[in-house]
Structure 1
Amino acid sequence: MAPLTGLRIRWTALVIFTHSGYLLLGATIFQLLEQEAESKNRDQFQLEKLKFLTNYSCLDGPALERFVKVIVEAWESRVDPSGNSTNPSNWDFSSSFFFAGTVVTTIGYGNLSPCTVWGKVFCVFYALCGIPLNLAFLNLLSKFIHFNLGLLKRGIFLVVPHKFIEVLAVTLFLVIGSVLLLVIPPLMFSYVEGWSYGEGFYFAFITLSSIGFGDYVVGMYQ
């Protein structure tokens, strides 16, 4: 019993150490990759503000800062500051359906969220019921696919050697899975949204992994 307990303690310590190290490594690399670009963007924005004040001398710095604050608050409220009041609603049926899907799948892009008190309350209870329901649906779907693949495999085993089928099945699984999940969706998103293939691939992976940063969302820039 004692050796098992010691092994369990060492394994737990190893997992904690590896997890912490992985987080520290990720933080360091993200900082090196992104901090300089952020600084350049910030400097560019300040330069644009100075040019704007130069071209429109009737404005002063505080007035421009207040206007920028209004734009930021509008953006945070999911109101597009460009255009006018005839812009498409963020909460038409298709957008609301899309939002409901991101809630139950726990993707949560963050580009759209309820602003009213009752909307937030409903979202909480909707997620509490919808997430388990979505997991049950995915479990049922996986069983259905597994059952039909089993029937297909047994049928093929009657005419093809067992070992060959196993190798073929793994190969087909990898190829078809890659095509369906990481090749076709990025190409579709690139065509429909006007993104590069890399941006489409990034969006597809972030969505499938349910990370959902919200920096790229379908229909966001149309």
Structure 2
Amino acid sequence: MPSKFQRKSSPGGGRGGGGLGGASSVSSTPSNQPRKRVKRCCRNFCTFMCTQVGVGALIVFYAICGAFAFMHIERQFVDETAGQVKDLRNKYSQQLWNITEKHNVLDRFQWTEATNAILRDYQGQIAGIVKHGYVGRSPEQIWSFPAALMFCLSVITMIGYGNMVPRTPWGKGFTVIYATFGIPLYILYFLSMGRVLARSFKFLYRSMHDCTQEHPRLDRLDALEGGVTMARKKVIVPSTACLWVIFFYVLTGTVMFANWEKWSFLNSFYFCMTSLCKIGFGDFVPGASLTTTADVNAATQKLQEDIAADPAELAQLQSVAADQHSKLAINFVYMLLGMGLVAMCRNLMREEVRLKAREMREDAKLCMEDTRLRFVGCCGNPRDAYEDDYY
């Protein structure tokens, strides 16, 4: 009996154990649900980042993060040349005063000669200090958010304006790391945005082309009513259409930058063309004339120190500074979209060039074949003449 009881209890125990094991396996399934959700979210996020919208959002986020990083790093730089310029200004002012006391204004020739010599010396000293990085502005005024954002854009797009450079060792090292990861990201954006814009512009051009061609559309409708699928003719976007798109885009930027940056139309057009061509001389850069918070603080301090200062000027600076963020966003989007349009024109014009090259190759083959046939028709086949003489 005990052995029989044990034999009966052991299967029951096995089933119970199996039931417990099944319960444990079932209970372990909900614990894996958060991990699967995290994996699914990561997979969806990576898939979204590989799309055109994701790449565009990523490059904007990368540029904004880089701007804040450069602002934090470069604003800690202590510009020693500013103190040197101040000492030079006081020194040469004192020398000019000494010359004035010595020669008096009655001896105009000697006073002019001595003054010119001192000013030439002062000019040479200032030129040497400028070569060492003196720009006449504090790091807070130089590295404003608009300027830092345009600097990041010039780094990742490989334009390299050169109007502002990192001065600290940490800033130089961070620039190398930032460019190492930013340039491949920009190339990915350039290629993906070029494909998307080229596909969209080709669809728009094909739709407009079909609207102008009335008879082919009626033939296609008749074929669809008859149950026959009609092959659609391939439409190639001409290069002139791409050039017109770039021209109107540059013209829009010319008017925009001339209005906001107070440039002439020639300088604005010059900046747009050199930037889209990635030349980047750096003599004209948007954001340099924007009113920053440091400018407002400097005007506030001047108003506190100078009683004769106009409070309306400070109020105007504050209102202008509050309106700069929208201009900054539009400038940034204009540059990125312009690079995308250049990539679009590259893809469309490459397709037309390939088609023209294929047509030229076929025409060359036909021309060579026609020349050979004409030569054979005029002179005959030399091999046939040789065989006739032999036999």
Task: For 2:261 and 2:207, locate their aligned partners in 1 and report how far apart those are by CA, in whole Å.
Answer: 42
TM superposition shift of 1:159: 4.5
- 2:96 corresponds to which residue? 56
TM-score by length of structure 2 reads: 0.36
- 2:242 corresponds to which residue? 173
Task: For 2:241 and 2:123, locate their aligned partners in 1 and report how far apart those are by CA, in whole Å.
Answer: 57
The answer to whether 1:211 aligns with 2:279 is yes
- Partner amino acid for 1:199? N
Secondary structure of residue in 2 paired with 1:79 = coil
Secondary structure of residue in 1 paired with 2:142 = coil
TM superposition shift of 1:98: 1.2
Q: Name the count of aligned residue pairs.
A: 163
TM superposition shift of 1:187: 1.7
**Preserved CA contact (<8 Å) 1:193 1:218:** yes
**What do residues 138-165 of structure 1 show as CA deviations (whole Å, max 9, x unaligned)?**
11111111222343355456554489x7
Q: 1:180 to 1:78 in 2, by over 3 A?
A: farther
**Preserved CA contact (<8 Å) 2:255 2:268:** yes
More helix by share: 2
**What do residues 21-69 of structure 1 show as CA deviations (whole Å, max 9, x unaligned)?**
xxxxxxxxxxxxxxxxxxxxxxxxxxxxxxx99x935377568635753
- Partner amino acid for 2:190? L
1:120 maps to which of 172, 175, 181: 172
TM superposition shift of 1:89: 1.6
Task: For 1:137 and 1:154, locate their aligned partners in 2 and report how far apart those are by CA, in whole Å.
Answer: 25
Structure 1 gap ranges (5+)? 1-51
Identity %: 29
Secondary structure of residue in 2 paired with 1:56 = helix
TM superposition shift of 1:91: 1.2
**Preserved CA contact (<8 Å) 1:206 1:212:** yes
Task: For 2:205 and 2:288, locate their aligned partners in 1 and report how far apart those are by CA, in whole Å.
Answer: 43
TM superposition shift of 1:219: 3.7
- 1:65 corresponds to which residue? 121
Q: 1:139 to 1:79 in 2, by over 3 A?
A: same
Q: 1:109 to 1:219 in 2, by over 3 A?
A: same
TM superposition shift of 1:173: 3.1
Task: For 1:62 and 1:159, locate their aligned partners in 2 and report how far apart those are by CA, in whole Å.
Answer: 75
Aligned-residue RMSD, C-alpha: 3.5
2:160 maps to which of 82, 92, 108: 108
TM-score by length of structure 1 reads: 0.59
- 1:97 corresponds to which residue? 149
TM superposition shift of 1:179: 0.9
Q: 1:126 to 1:190 in 2, by over 3 A?
A: same
Structure 2 gap ranges (5+)? 1-91, 100-113, 217-232, 291-391
- Partner amino acid for 1:115? R
Q: 1:158 to 1:139 in 2, by over 3 A?
A: same
- 2:256 corresponds to which residue? 188
TM superposition shift of 1:136: 0.6
- 2:183 corresponds to which residue? 131
- Partner amino acid for 1:177? I
Task: For 2:240 and 2:274, locate their aligned partners in 1 and report how far apart those are by CA, in whole Å.
Answer: 25
Bigger Rg over Cα:
2
